[in-house]
Structure 1
Amino acid sequence: MKGQSPYLATIVLILFLALRTFIPKNEVIVTQKNLDKFPLNINDYQGIDIPLTESVYKELNPDIYIYRHYLPKFNNHPSILLYIGYYGTAKGGRTGHNPHACYPSAGWAILDLKKVILFISGKKVSINQIFIQKNGERRVVLYWYQSEGNKILDTGIKQNLHRFFCRILKRRDDGAFVRVSASINGNSKEILPKVYAFTKQILTLLPHYWPQEKEI
């Protein structure tokens, strides 16, 4: 271990100097929200905006957010809740929100969790899926982290690493937390494919409505 310490110190010094060199010296601000134009109509769904309570907004502290209830046009489709919280470079690009901690603290029991692979434009995308339950209600929650508009990451650690290199190479590290959830009190085998289809639409659309930033 003693022989490794000089190398570790050198690596830390290099990373520190890289950050000092490449981090924007000017303030970086969001110049175009774009998310405010995110479609209310998605396939067979009509969205209704829901304002966050002041306490929740302060806790999450996003630069821009979408919180919507998407209502189905057909009875055999589940209603879906969508949350997108965007964090610009000035806020470090991400939230500390962790569903594995937040749901239990709100009284939800986590019944199951796993990774889910979806295909978007022929490419495999890995996101998180958890089943939760509270007072007899069961819900499925799909969530992921997104950076650079189209970079999909299934853990906060991966997003942090990606943001680090983006900050060095591109002088930006904005990102978002995205969550899709729906009640599955009925037959989950019928509901899940519809939730997956909706989620694929969100994954496809979001890069086109990604906010723009600028140094001032």
Structure 2
Amino acid sequence: MTWKRDLTVLGILVATLAMGEGLVASTALTTRARSSRTVPQGGNLMQDIPLAAGEWQGSDVPVREEVFEILETRNILQRRYVNHEDEIVFLDIVQSETDGRATHPPEVCYIGEGVEIVKKDRLNLNIGGSALIVNRLVVQDGGRQDLVLYWYKAGDLKTASYWGQQCGLLLRRLKGMGAQAALVRFSTHLGANSLESSQERIAGLAEALKYNLGI
């Protein structure tokens, strides 16, 4: 039966969470939206992200058909935002209502494309007064280095852990509740900029989109 299968999978996930990296994931499950406004469960997150946000103006980047096929969802947003100082930040969102596998860790794609991961850790990011634990990557492709900050969503849950997201999705399913799985990723060119100033740039755009992203 479906519920028995879900309980079995949940048990495996919980066991995984109790080992190694899973300990971080279990604490991440308690991170909830602190804003008074949350994204409706039945809505489409893509429709809630405006092109104009504060000092930022966005333009959509076409998604290749092969990306839709690989991720098995058409709910993919790729957008390039520019502010008044001509600083550029990219926002990518992958969303699925049926399968959390579409929101797999970005490192999988970077490694598959031959991009080197120079730095990988987690960061407590301040977004307009809201603290959010995110994953931080510094990636290098040839002579170019980019800063990448990303996190996962499962309904109103926000977590830096992929397994935390998957466990959250299963728990909601067992309760008969729907939940959209999403990966939210920001990236910007490092260049001559410091890591801190690049993080502030991303945080500035994230703050402008704070309520749209349910932060």
**Matched residue SS, 2:125:** strand
Identify which of 76, 82, 88 aligns with 2:91: 82
Query: For residues 14 and 68 of structure 1, what CA distance do their matches in structure 2 show?
Result: 35
Residue number in structure 2 paired with 1:67? 78
**Matched residue SS, 2:212:** helix
Identify which of 167, 172, 175 aligns with 1:161: 167
**Matched residue SS, 1:35:** helix
Counterpart contact for 1:117–1:125, Cα < 8 Å: yes
**Matched residue SS, 2:174:** helix
**Matched residue SS, 1:193:** helix
Residue number in structure 1 paired with 2:140? 133
- Rg comparison, structure with higher value: 1
Identify which of 118, 122, 130 aligns with 2:125: 118
2:197 is the counterpart of 1:190:
yes
Q: CA deviation at 1:94?
A: 4.4
Identify which of 181, 186, 189 aligns with 1:175: 181
Greater per-residue strand proportion: 1
Runs of at least 4 residues off by over 6 Å? none
Query: For residues 162 and 143 of structure 2, what CA distance do their matches in structure 1 show?
Result: 30
Residue number in structure 1 paired with 2:214? 207
Of residues 46-55 and 62-71 in structure 1, the stretch that sits farther from structure 2 once superposed is: 62-71
Structure 2 counterparts to residues 8-87 of structure 1, below 5 A: 15=7, 32-33=43-44, 35-75=46-86, 78-87=87-96
Could you give the per-residue CA deviations for residues 154-188 of structure 1, whole angstroms, max 9, x where no partner exists? 11100111111111114323210111000011222
Give the root-mean-square deviation of aligned CA atoms.
2.6
Query: What letter corresponds to residue 109 of structure 1 in structure 2?
Result: E
Q: Which runs of 5+ in 2 are unaligned?
A: 11-40
Query: What letter corresponds to residue 15 of structure 1 in structure 2?
Result: L
Query: For residues 62 and 172 of structure 1, what CA distance do their matches in structure 2 show?
Result: 17
**How many equivalent residue pairs?**
180
Query: What letter corresponds to residue 84 of structure 1 in structure 2?
Result: I
Query: What letter corresponds to residue 129 of structure 1 in structure 2?
Result: R
Query: For residues 55 and 128 of structure 2, what CA distance do their matches in structure 1 show?
Result: 20
Output the TM-score relative to the length of structure 1: 0.73
Output the TM-score relative to the length of structure 2: 0.73
